[in-house]
Structure 1
Amino acid sequence: MPSPRRSVLRLIALIAALAPAAAFAASPAADPRDVSREMIVGDPAAPVGGDPKGDVTIVAYLDYNCGFCKRSAPALEKLVRTDGKIRLVYKDWPILAESSVAGAKIALAAKYQGKYETAHRALMSLPGGNVPQAKMLAAVASAGVDMARLQADATAHESEMVALLKRNDAQARGMGFMGTPVYLIGPLLVAAAPSYDEFRDAVAKARARQRGR
């Protein structure tokens, strides 16, 4: 049986080979369907948390090397848990470093074993920017992700994950986002790292607008 370290090193090489930073950012002009409101809010390949039938949808464009994303992650998690009626759509938008792409691929591969949010929380908990891939993999392994399954899914679903990253990138660039994080909270756009109270207030405003008040 291979040692855990050897398995991690093989997986690092696999993730790096599957997802160089230019793999999606330098793609041709986006299909208009990929940047439609329907795909921004309801892309069937995008991971979803919270209440799938929630009355407010938050679409979160994030990078696992983004300090502001990490700062707001606990507040967003608390909001979704305490509110109980929020549908959260995760949009991995890895734009800051090569390892950002690796992190996105690790999280998306974990989705196929039902552990996207487990991987997401583990990656968001890592301090600093440009986190090494080895540290990312160690974090998700410690969080309980099956690493053998992750490796198999990273290979089997490579084209699907790259296509999703391309769509996320096209959407973010099409809407003129300058960086991460960006949160679409119902009809509101928040390009900042909100506190829990700021998230809660934005959700209240979104609900009021949706009700026509």
Structure 2
Amino acid sequence: MRRRDVMLLAAGAALAATAPGRVRPAAAQAIDRNAILRDPEAPTFGNPTGDVTLVAFFDYNCPFCKKAEPDLERAATEDGRIRLVFKDWPILTEASVVGARLALAAAYQDGYALVHRALMAIPGRRVPEEQMREAVRRSGVDLARLQADHDRNSDKITALLRRNAAQAEAIGLQGTPSYLIGPFRTSTLDYAGFKQAFAEARRRQAAP
């Protein structure tokens, strides 16, 4: 977990050296702001025309991500003007990669949110692969279709995870959770912290 202070986001920075992790970008490349905010394959929720975009980089084995998730969902839902972009960034364990791939495969049947919530609800920091698979089985998605969608779209899922990793490293993220909220970058927040960050982002965006 990185420090809690909020920092201005330097979007478009050159790709930094690859940090330790299970999914690595294939090569250094420039990352522009639009690629981070509007990747067409990144799961996106909330208000599609919201005035503040929140991009969440997370890992399903990150206890801080799990602790913040209910507060993030509550704050964004109550606000009503937040566009949420989820960036699966599985950097902690091999099981993290499995969880991310299952969630992204579920997106092809509009089941990403179900699997995401199921995986985030598992307590602990080193959740084994089989426990993740069991949570997915209980989430309500069609498991046969999920497997078929995963196999059919395996290369696309891999490419998305690599883009997410490249973007995280390009803007200097050091761990999960990391949130880009309007022009700001921050780490673990509670409900009040998310609400404050939304307000600060709006003030910054409205400034000359």
Fold equivalence (TM over 0.5) = yes
Whether 1:194 aligns to 2:189 is yes
Counterparts of 1:96 and 1:57, CA distance in 2? 26
Q: Give 3-state SS (helix, strand or coil) of 2:132's partner.
A: helix
Describe the SS at the equivalent of 2:65.
helix
TM-score (norm 2): 0.87
Letter in structure 2 aligned against 1:153? D
Identity of aligned residues (%): 51
Coordinate RMSD, CA, aligned: 1.2
Calculate the TM-score normalised by the size of structure 1. Answer: 0.85
**Equivalent position of 2:201 in the other structure:** 206
1:45 to 2:41 alignment: yes
How many residues end up aligned between the 2 structures? Answer: 188
**How far is the alpha carbon of 1:167 from its aligned partner?**
0.5
- In 1, Cα distance between the equivalents of 2:147 and 2:170? 32
Q: Which runs of 4+ in 1 moved over 3 A?
A: none
Q: Which structure would you say has the larger RCO, counting Cα contacts within 8 Å and 6 or more residues apart?
A: 2
Matches within 5 A, 1:16-31: 22=22, 24-25=23-24, 27-31=25-29
5+ residue gaps in structure 1? 1-20
* Distance (whole Å) between structure 2 residues aligned to residue 133 and residue 153 of structure 1: 19
The answer for the alignment partner of 1:122 in structure 2 is 118
Q: Which residue of 1 aligns with 2:74?
A: 78
Three-state SS of the structure 1 residue aligned to 2:101 is: helix
Give unpaired runs (5+ residues) of structure 2. Answer: 1-20
CA deviation after TM superposition for structure 1 residue 157, in Å: 0.6
Deviations 1:113-150 (A, max 9, x none): 00111110100000002211221121122120111011
The one-letter code of the counterpart of 1:118 is: L
Question: After the TM superposition, which residues 139-178 of structure 1 pair with which residues of structure 2 at under 5 Å, given as runs?
Answer: 139-178=135-174
Structure 1 contact 30–167 (Cα < 8 Å) conserved? no
Distance 1:144 1:28 in 2: 34
